[in-house]
Amino acid sequence: MHKRKAIIIGCGVGGMATAIRLAVQGFAVSVYEKNGRPGGKLSAFEKDGYRFDAGPSLFTQPQNIEELFALAQEPIQEYFSYQPVNIACKYFYENGKVIHAYTNAKQFAQELNEQLNEPTEKVIAYLKNAKKLYDNIGTVFLNNSLHKATTWFNKTILPALKTLRPAYLFNSLDQYNSRHFNSPEAVQLFNRFATYNGSNPYKAPAMLSLIPHLEQNQGTFYPQGGMISITNALYNLAIKKGVQFFFDTPVQRIIHDEGMVKGVVVREENILADIVVSNVDVYFTYKNLLGDMQQAKKILRQERSSSAVIFYWGINKSFPQLQLHNIFFSKDYKSEFDDIFINKKLSKDPTVYINITSKLESSQSPNGKENWFVMVNAPANSGQDWEQLKINLRSNILTKLNRMLGEDIRPLIETEYTLDPVLIEEQTASYMGSLYGTSSNSKLSAFFRPANFTDTIKGLYFCGGSVHPGGGIPLCLKSAKIVSELIASDHKKANH
């Protein structure tokens, strides 16, 4: 009996996790990747003795990775280790207020009470509600395909829909947060969670209020060796399970005939397979790999998510007042989002996020120095003059940090590298450099994210940040699970 063959296009987190799951199901799996390394956006580099994670910097829900190792019956500790972080993020406001967002709900509520006069019971109630939303609705929608009837007839769907209040869909996250908190600072803090999927809190539905549950209730973690260790762990596990990788090998197109997938074309050669899974941005999959402009255009009807500009700075000093994750808020949050989503430009007063892994692992930077990953949310690329925008942005960020940290940062920058939406698209084939595919700025956008399969070509599936359930490491890992379950169930049906 020949082994069924699966081809995966793209070696991002979702692609590798799908490869592992299909190998466990008994497929012979090959992964083709246009870059010379695994990981997609989850990569790293070293410059002048400083180590930087290039992409995602926040690690939540380690259970998604643990589940893969358990499934593959491999001891995770031989591949990967992580530790809990007791402060999810430190927030700095222009009015001088500072908040430590403890991952202990009581401590966090206490902090908001002491610093912002928010009643502790209100904060605890908000986080409890986030948990309830996540447990009842989130888990159903994030762990199942929304495009299969079986999901809607599943016995868990009714209780889930019962918890779905109209307010979660018809109020914006900002309206919801403004009702729950008295201080503008607390509202701004909880509005920030919309950026986790590249959305605008003044437009995105209150449903997104379940996101803080991940960070503040379930906890925030740090992977030993930095975020790149997630990529390395998945890659090594896939190899252990017999997955074959082909790097610097772009797929030219997907072959299909009479509504069935047949394989892919690589270097003008046909490589046949029973299953093809694209971990490439779904827009580019339709446009370039399937030559289906009609379907590609349909995907573009939805607004793109935001992108980012990142400065990687080697800082010749240590800042004891900073944590692993830090946020320096803009004074006028609403106008910052208007700039990003309506005016398609960078705010003059951006919210600045700084991640410093050397806080937890001193080997990530030279002694007494720090590796700063400095990011601001940016509009997706639509032809803006990024070179000029970056010059202005760098100067605005430095002015802001100098003011809020009371120190001249500019002379401390020993080494620097910059990433912008154009480079993000070039390096990771994310259309327009948008980090999460489509945004969640409309009421029902979660239901309109592209599906993980297509009815028109049997045997073709999609995983990763541009399809259901969305972008970011936890959701990419969930998309891999959804796809592998769809494949298993489709195979079962075909054999009955």
Kind and range of the H or E element at 210? none
Judgement on whether residues 414 and 351 belong to the same structural domain of the protein: yes
CATH number, position 478 = 3.50.50.60
Please say whether the beta carbons of 368 and 318 come within 8 A. Answer: yes
Residue 325 lies in a domain: yes
Query: Which sign does the torsion angle of CA 58, 60, 64, 70 carry?
Result: positive
In a shared domain, residues 239 and 258? yes
294 and 363 belong to one structural domain: no
Q: Are residues 299 and 317 in the same domain?
A: no
Is 140 inside a domain boundary? no
> Which two three-digit tokens encode residue 216?
């503040």
Contacts 24+ apart (CB under 8 A), 140-143: 141/446, 141/469, 142/469, 142/475, 142/478, 143/469, 143/478, 143/481, 143/482
With H, G, I as helix, E, B as strand and everything else as coil, classify residue 28.
strand
In a domain, 150, yes or no: no
Residues 240 and 323 in one domain: no
Q: pLDDT below 70 — which residues of the chain?
A: 1, 151-153, 156-158, 161, 163, 442-448
pLDDT (tens digit per residue) in 245-285: 999 999 999 999 999 999 999 999 999 999 999 999 999 99
Please list the residues that pair with 53 across neighbouring strands.
Answer: 44
Separation between Cα atoms, residue 191 and residue 126, nearest integer Å: 13
Domain for residue 356, yes or no? yes
Residues 356 and 409 grouped into a single domain: yes
Q: How many domains does the chain have?
A: 2
Does residue 254 lie within any of the structural domains?
Answer: yes
If asked whether residues 400 and 494 sit together in one domain, one would say: no
267, part of any domain: yes
- Domain endpoint, select from 419, 437, 471: 419
Single out the residue of 462, 377, 127, 232 nearest to residue 470, CA to CA: 462
Q: Are residues 322 and 388 in the same domain?
A: yes
291 and 234 within one domain? yes
Domain enclosing residue 325, as ranges = 306-379+382-419
- Give the chain's end-to-end CA distance (angstroms, integer): 18
pLDDT in the model for residue 361: 97
360 within a domain of the structure (yes/no): yes
- Please indicate, yes or no, whether residues 413 and 311 belong to a single structural domain of this protein: yes
Same domain, residue pair 451 and 408: no
**In this predicted model, what pLDDT tens digit does every residue of 213-224 receive, in sequence order?**
999 999 999 999
- Residue 33's pLDDT is 98
Instruction: Report pLDDT for 1.
Output: 61
Q: Which residues contact 95 (CB under 8 A, 6 or more apart)?
A: 185
Domain co-membership, 232 together with 280:
yes
Task: Answer whether 357's CB lies under 8 Å from 364's CB.
Answer: yes
pLDDT computed for residue 152 by the predictor: 64
Q: Does the residue 220 lie in any domain?
A: no
